Amino acid sequence: MDLPRRRFLYSALALGLGASVRPRVLPAAVRKGLTPLPIPPLLEGEWRDGKRHFRLNAQAGEREFMPGKATPTWGFNGDYLGPTLRMQRGDTVSIEVLNRLPETTTVHWHGMILPARMDGGPHQPIAPGARWRSEYRVIQPAATLFYHAHTHGLTGPQVYRGLAGLLYIDDAESAALDLPSDYGVDDIPLVIQDRDFTDDGRFRYLEFMPERMTGKHGRSLLVNGALSPGLQARSDLLRLRLVNASNARFYRLAFSDGRRFRVIASDGGLLPEAAAVSELVMAPAERYEILVDLSDRKPVVLRDLGGAGNAGFGPMGMMGLDGGFDVLHIDPSAAGRSPRRPKQRLGGPDPARVEASADARALVLEMGMMGRGMMRGGGMMGGMRRGMMGDPGGMMGGMMRINGRTFDMQRVDFTVPANSEEVWLLGNDSPMAHPFHVHNTQFRLLTRNGRPPAAWERGYKDTVIVHPGEKLRIRVPTGPYADARHPYMFHCHILEHEDGGMMGQFTVV
């Protein structure tokens, strides 16, 4: 469906992006009423004592997404979102987080393999005014990761206000591939988030019970914190790092002229080889890197075609939330010729080897209106009635489950041996698709309903879509960090489902 898009004129205000890099040329796109795409500031840290040090301040601010309307926001080192932290494989990093917010928060390094007490999940709360230091060695390949708040029961609202940022890992292998890698020039991050605004410009979050069930979907789209962004391409070969940092929305991304593009990396790094596609579905927390050839110098729009993921799920259609957005207008008319000649083979994990091994465990995602919850929790109506009574934290209590159980901070659901690999069978006994995420690992999708995965799903993943009724097998490396006292999380990355309890925890021993 065609959503009303907010167009606004170029103005100093619209460009008042504070912490963001300003475009060096006035984009032609601007003349059409677009906002120049902001690029999050890049932090490479500071070397001290053999460690790369970063500082993040979680702080409140405001941003004029729409001219003349100040939206109260949260961000890291700025008003909305945070800087891109760039590190090298092999580095020891030390990140100090200061919480200047009026509320407890956490910062989780999504996709990172690291000791559990450094993970920044719900067990590492940072009280208002307090500091938290996370130190770990980067032991995994080059990838586009991200960081975000992961506070017990409050991940959804905190990320929605802006507590998220990018984290890049570089390594020698990826540097040798001749990929576009000039940050913000030919290697461009696109943090995609949908939002709803009130008439006076405030963020609108969870006002109706069905939104708790479907997850928060917005009618406007922000890319790197800007509505209706345009990019004056400076190179005719762009690497776009697509990050779905939305609370709940799935996107079906394609170019307006149907042109094909090459997917080169997924959540955990480079694919075995580039996969040419004309559209790509992305669930919350998934990342894909793509190469787009603009050598025809023709303007093109990256679009969300809508209809992805849960668009067909009852309440979504009812609320007019099935999607369809312009994501980014690209004008390559003045682009220079890229000297980069990326290869087809990228060196990611070899997909051919699927070792036969028994499934170690099965995890089934469930919602209140189906399966066991129907009997026990009074089904959808019971849950909705409970929800309307208030009780924000517990209102989804019993509605969102994995293997029949709602998340409990005090309960460790299982343990896995360190330095090992397990095959997990993922199921979905609910009417919605869920992006299933595991901390401290980059796993491989072995099969989807018994079939080998699509070309772009053959690399390292930390989040994978499980559609209703599907059976997925994933091979999960357990990592080197044994610690019986601190658990890691696994959960649905629709943040309202996570907050509602579709989450569990495991320890590595």
> Contact positions toward Cu ion, by CB under 5 A?
110, 434, 439, 492, 494, 497
What is the per-residue binding string for ligand C2O in 228-257, x denoting contact by CB under 6 A? Answer: ------------------------------
The option from Cu ion, ligand C2O, none interacting with 148 (CB < 5 to 8 A, set by class) reads ligand C2O
CB 223 within 8 A of CB 329: no
Which one of residues 101, 238, 328, 489 is an interface residue with ligand C2O (CB under 6 A)?
A: 489
Options 214-222, 247-255, 268-276, 487-495: segment touching ligand C2O (CB under 6 A): 487-495
Least distance from C-beta 427 to ligand C2O, angstroms? 20
Least distance from C-beta 122 to ligand C2O, angstroms? 9
Measured from the CB atom, is 40 or 487 closer to ligand C2O? 487
Q: Strand, helix or coil at 367?
A: strand
Measured from the CB atom, is 93 or 164 closer to ligand C2O? 164
Q: Is 143 in the site for ligand C2O (CB under 6 A)?
A: no
Residue 107: what are its φ and ψ, rounded to 5°? -130, 115
* β-pair partners for 289: 241, 265
Cβ neighbors of 322 (< 8 A, separation 6 or more) are 1, 306, 307, 311, 312, 316
Closest to 488 (Cα-Cα) out of 416, 399, 382, 385 = 416
Size of the site for ligand C2O (CB under 6 A): 10
Alpha carbons 31 and 13: distance in angstroms, whole number: 16
Alpha carbons 80 and 59: distance in angstroms, whole number: 9
Measured from the CB atom, is 401 or 439 closer to Cu ion? 439
Options 75-83, 251-259, 261-269, 488-496: segment touching ligand C2O (CB under 6 A): 488-496
Alpha carbons 507 and 509: distance in angstroms, whole number: 6
Closest to 164 (Cα-Cα) out of 138, 201, 189 = 189
Q: Is 150 in the site for ligand C2O (CB under 6 A)?
A: yes
Alpha carbons 50 and 437: distance in angstroms, whole number: 32
Sign of torsion over alpha carbons 504, 244, 106, 165? positive
Alpha carbons 125 and 110: distance in angstroms, whole number: 16
Measured from the CB atom, is 464 or 489 closer to ligand C2O? 489
Q: Is 108 in the site for ligand C2O (CB under 6 A)?
A: yes
CB 54 within 8 A of CB 85: yes
Query: Scanning the structure block, which residue is given the tokens 């009724």?
Result: 469
Least distance from C-beta 106 to ligand C2O, angstroms? 10
Least distance from C-beta 108 to ligand C2O, angstroms? 5
Which one of residues 52, 439, 458, 486 is an interface residue with ligand C2O (CB under 6 A)?
A: 439
Alpha carbons 18 and 421: distance in angstroms, whole number: 45
Q: Is 434 in the site for ligand C2O (CB under 6 A)?
A: no
Options 52-60, 379-387, 440-448, 489-497: segment touching ligand C2O (CB under 6 A): 489-497
What is the per-residue binding string for ligand C2O in 259-288, x denoting contact by CB under 6 A? Answer: --------------------------x---
Least distance from C-beta 462 to ligand C2O, angstroms? 8
The option from ligand C2O, Cu ion, none interacting with 285 (CB < 5 to 8 A, set by class) reads ligand C2O
The option from Cu ion, ligand C2O, none interacting with 492 (CB < 5 to 8 A, set by class) reads Cu ion
Alpha carbons 438 and 27: distance in angstroms, whole number: 40
* Structure tokens given for 504: 């569990």
Beta-carbon neighbour count of residue 413 at 10 Å? Answer: 18
Closest to 70 (Cα-Cα) out of 173, 250, 201 = 201
- Kindly list the strands in the beta sheet with 300-304, ordered across the sheet, starting from the edge strand earlier in the chain: 35-36, 229-232, 325-331, 300-304, 251-255, 280-282
Measured from the CB atom, is 89 or 108 closer to ligand C2O? 108
- Parallel, antiparallel, or unpaired for β 503-508 and 414-416? parallel
Which one of residues 123, 234, 249, 437 is an interface residue with ligand C2O (CB under 6 A)?
A: 437
Least distance from C-beta 375 to ligand C2O, angstroms? 29
Q: Is 148 in the site for ligand C2O (CB under 6 A)?
A: yes
Cβ neighbors of 199 (< 8 A, separation 6 or more) are none
Least distance from C-beta 42 to ligand C2O, angstroms? 21
The option from ligand C2O, Cu ion, none interacting with 150 (CB < 5 to 8 A, set by class) reads ligand C2O
Residues that bind ligand C2O (CB under 6 A): 108, 110, 148, 150, 285, 437, 439, 489, 491, 493
